[in-house]
Amino acid sequence: MRRLTVTLLAMTAFTAHGDEQTGPVQKHHAPQSVDMSPARWSAGDWDKYVELEGMAFPGNPEVIGHGGAISGSYHPLAQRAGLEALAQGGSSVDAALTTAMAQITAGGGAVTSFFGIMTLVHYDAGSDKVSYLNAGWNTVAGETDPLSIPGEIAGYGEGLYGTGDVSGRTALVGGFLRGVESAHARFGRLPFKQLLAPSIYIAEHGIPFNRSLQSFLEPRKQDLARLPASKAVLSRSDGEWYGPGDHFVQPALANTLHAIASQGVDYMYTGPWARKAVAAIRADGGNMTLEDLASYEVQWNDPLQASHNGYTVYANGAPSYGGANMIEALHLGEAAGIRELGHWSENAESFRRVSELLSNGNIPFIEAFAPGSLEQLYPGLDFSLAARTQPAHAEKLWSYMEEGRRMMQWDDKGPKHSDTVVAIDADGNMTAIVHSINAVVWGKTAIIVDGVTVGDPAVSQKAILAMAGPGNRLPDPTEAGLLFRNGEPVMAFSSMAMGLHLQTFQSLTNVMDFGMTPKEALDSPSILYPKVESISDMGNAAATVRVMRNSFPPELLEKTGLPYMEITPEERRYAQGLWIGIARDPATGTLRAASHPYTNGRAMALESKP
């Protein structure tokens, strides 16, 4: 089979707007008649998945199928919408995009947004090619002093929602819908407007205002009340805030989605929504202009590629650094001998080494916050993305780490709000997505324009904005990708939340080194995001390892020599990474899909009961 010729640091292979298609594209035959509205779902399905929306941990039963599968971290209603796309002849891209948009809608735009960001890694079976789409933030061209942007994030708890003056300067240009448009133009089969149909139905028909939405709303009422249009989104017709059990409808968002369905994504970037958004942002002192939105371009780049224990990993590359974090961690695992030591749930030294090597995910922040410190800590090491994906780099880095050279290990500042989707269709096409608002819930500014959340992602990324420069693409920590074995694609995966990097490494190592299925990888004991005790002026943190209660033998934890604490499922929210995966047997086409057990996400497959 043909393999990609990879250019690790190619920033922009080509761009795409609207229906324009560039590069080799597999031609698909669209189904003759498609109706994706939940009104036509099987009897009882709507009520079933609406009920699951309100459950915190409904479990993650493995599903097995052959005709296609979908999984996501949150919102089973959205995964059911993606399954419908597969059932009606849609591609993996159709299913994944449908799910992602329905996730935003079911979540009320609180933690993901149609004006957020998206990373997509895709395998096209017809051309035997892997592609990587970056629809991340663009910085504002007129923002030339990002370090002076008002606002701070003071860790989790009340500080999560931000301090300081409200400012439109905290808004960035989101590429989510441009990414949806471009991915569909290249790899979609279903009519574009049908991908929006489930989201329109959810917004118009409404769902119960569940406890998750209530937990988002309660601490944000003061900020959301600042602007009448924002409060209206979260208020009943009598003007009172929504409460648990109320029927939550989103007429403003429904109207926006109808306009996008009929007029295209330009409605958001050059049309009426763009004009309203820029006016709202500038009214709060922001520098964004219509040109910032109109000039936004999606980037189709080469994915990063690496080998590990007989597998080939394809991951999102530049301008994202998440894929480099992931591959470097896998190479560090090799250098640390994790496979030879045995699983970290059974070997204390393996546990200690995994806990140590996972701090590599903070390498990209070090130069942003403490220039020159990497050379001081690790003299002679090249930390370019290209170098970080090489085994020799990891071997040297691990030797330094074992000497006791400690980097800035953990930073609990900044929100990590996002969601994930993976999909595989009947033809073996694979799609992995992570999308995010990358801001506090609804944003400290709480600007909501015609039902679409703008957010305040610049607050927690000022130093990174300064490094990127005005009008440029912002690097991001997202992690999504594909696994190949013996030249055949065998898995799609994606990850999100506070501990996304930790869970990605552990899940991939479980699969590649310890022979687990996606569900077994997720059910295996995990090292969670540590509790940060204190952060010095130099950014060094004292941290306590967190694990689930009763997941590791107490004698193993004591033997590691590390400070640790055991937590309950309810305490996992700001400690867990949420990884999802679908495996495919190339010989039989059998699909095995799973979602994380500690969310309400759901895995579904055709030829199995959804």
Residue-wise pLDDT tens digits, 389-443? 999 999 999 999 999 887 655 554 555 578 999 999 999 999 999 999 989 899 9
pLDDT bucket at 22, cuts 50 / 70 / 90? very low
Neighbours of 345 (CB within 10 A): 18
CB 446 within 8 A of CB 220: yes
Backbone angles phi, psi at 430, to 5 degrees: -130, 135
β-strands 430-436, 247-248 pairing: unpaired
What's the token pair of residue 165?
Answer: 């003056």
What's the token pair of residue 536?
Answer: 């010095």
24-38: b (≥16 Cβ within 10 Å) or e:
eeeebeeeeebebeb
pLDDT attached to residue 35: 95
Lowest mean pLDDT across 321-325, 411-415, 450-454, 506-510: 411-415
Backbone angles phi, psi at 565, to 5 degrees: -145, 145
Residue-wise pLDDT tens digits, 234-246? 999 999 999 999 9
The dihedral region occupied by 311, where left means phi > 0, alpha psi between -120 and 50, and beta the remainder, is beta
pLDDT attached to residue 159: 55
d(CA 248, CA 257): 17
d(CA 566, CA 558): 12
d(CA 102, CA 419): 11
Residue-wise pLDDT tens digits, 152-189? 876 555 556 777 889 999 999 999 999 999 999 999 99
pLDDT attached to residue 532: 78
Res. 103: pLDDT tops 90: yes
DSSP-assigned letter for residue 34: -
CA 183 to chain centre: 16
Mean residue pLDDT across the chain: 89
CB 465 within 8 A of CB 250: no
Mean pLDDT of 477-481: 95
pLDDT attached to residue 361: 82
Mean pLDDT of 236-258: 96
Mean pLDDT of 464-480: 94
pLDDT attached to residue 573: 80
Q: Which residues contact 596 (CB under 8 A, 6 or more apart)?
A: 60, 73, 522, 576, 578, 579, 580
pLDDT attached to residue 541: 54
pLDDT attached to residue 20: 32
CB 504 within 8 A of CB 522: no
pLDDT attached to residue 33: 85
d(CA 332, CA 334): 5
Element (H, E) at 280: helix 272-283
Mean pLDDT of 315-326: 94
Specify the pTM.
Answer: 0.93
pLDDT attached to residue 7: 25
d(CA 129, CA 3): 7
- Sort 603 into a burial class: Cβ within 10 Å, 0-12 / 13-18 / 19+: buried
pLDDT attached to residue 364: 76
CB 584 within 8 A of CB 491: yes
Mean pLDDT of 107-118: 97
pLDDT bucket at 377, cuts 50 / 70 / 90? confident
pLDDT attached to residue 335: 98
d(CA 103, CA 380): 45
Whose tokens are 């010095």? That residue is 536
DSSP-assigned letter for residue 33: -
Residue-wise pLDDT tens digits, 269-278? 999 999 999 9
d(CA 59, CA 597): 5
Q: Which residues contact 579 (CB under 8 A, 6 or more apart)?
A: 493, 494, 495, 500, 503, 504, 507, 521, 522, 596
Mean pLDDT of 541-554: 89
pLDDT cut 70: percent of the chain above it: 89
Q: Which residues contact 327 (CB under 8 A, 6 or more apart)?
A: 304, 306, 313, 315, 388, 389
Q: What is the dihedral of CA 350, 351, 356, 362, to 10 degrees?
A: 120
DSSP-assigned letter for residue 605: E
